[in-house]
Amino acid sequence: MTHDTVGIAVAQFAPTASRQGNLADIDAATRAAAARGARIVVFPEYSSYFVDPFDASLAENAEDLDGPFVAALTALAAELDVVVVAGLLEKADDGRRVRNAVVAVAGDGIRSVYRKLHLYDAFGQRESDWVEPGEIVPPQTFEAHGLRFGLMTCYDLRFPEVARTLADAGADVALVPAEWVRGPLKEHHWRTLLQARAIENTFFVAAADHPPPLGVGHSMIVDPQGVALAQVGTATDVAVAHVDPEAIARVRRVNPALELRRFRVTPRCTRRREAADG
């Protein structure tokens, strides 16, 4: 570690139906990460509240962006001088579904908000029954400690266009809160996709998952060549990597893939998305 590196932590824990319990776990993990030099701490998807299977309690426990969950994150970030990134159940307009949001919070308040674009209607699940899909908006990024961070969530990993739009927006690091559901080959998919998104965009990726039995665990920070710099196994734990911002430029000098590509990403609205919206 040198004075030029930036500490990024992924904090792996299992959110529950106890909102206060989740905040207590976030508080403890953030303190542990900050003590090890982390300036950015990434938590999983649905960090504010989670039940399996989903039920009507999601909407009952959803919050606004100015609610107690974000207020607690702001106070914690201010005390420890960090940016906390975590999944939030946000209230939606219809009162029935919720928004699967990710908030990046510093001591002065919210830096960025991302609402999950690709809902998990796969592998026998239907997230869209309970969650309103995010609108297609410009990539959600924020700057801290000389790096630009971009936000995406879980199932978005299977859609390389999402990470590519972050790279186009100048992101140096993609932050990925997730609840990567366990199943045959799912751990293999998780690792492969995280490394692929890092390699093809020549940037860092930091992803935080739920541990087993629901998630696969293996939260990690991956460098622009796809190498895992730090990772958690299947326990509740924190991993910290001190990343070198200059590594991105070094890799891109040797592998200028972003400059050499001949295609751009454009939004596509499908009937399936329209059905999910309505």
Question: What pLDDT is attached to residue 274?
Answer: 42
User: What CATH code is carried by the domain that includes residue 24?
Assistant: 3.60.110.10
Please tell me the distance from the alpha carbon of residue 20 to that of residue 26, in angstroms, as a whole number. 10
| Domain coverage including residue 101 | 6-277
Residue 116 bears catalytic tag:
yes
In a domain, 118, yes or no: yes
Whether residue 162 lies inside any domain: the answer is yes
d(CA 176, CA 115): 12
pLDDT of residue 94: 83
The answer as to whether 1 is a domain residue is no
Residue 52 domain flag: yes
pTM assigned to the model: 0.94
Chain mean pLDDT for the chain = 94
Measured between alpha carbons, how far is residue 7 from residues 10, 34, 227 in Å?
10, 9, 16
Total structural domains in the chain? Answer: 1
pLDDT digits (tens, 9 = 90+) for 31-50: 999 999 999 999 999 999 99
Per the residue annotation, which of 63, 127, 132, 154 is the catalytic one? 154
pLDDT of residue 275: 39
Catalytic residue among 116, 127, 187, 200: 116
The rounded distance, in Å, linking the Cα atoms of 84 and 271 is 36
Domain membership of residue 269 (yes or no) is yes
DSSP 3-state assignment of 73?
helix
Closest CA to 18 of 46, 38, 48: 48
Query: pLDDT digits over 188-203, tens only?
Result: 999 999 999 999 999 9
What's the Rg (C-alpha) of the chain? 17
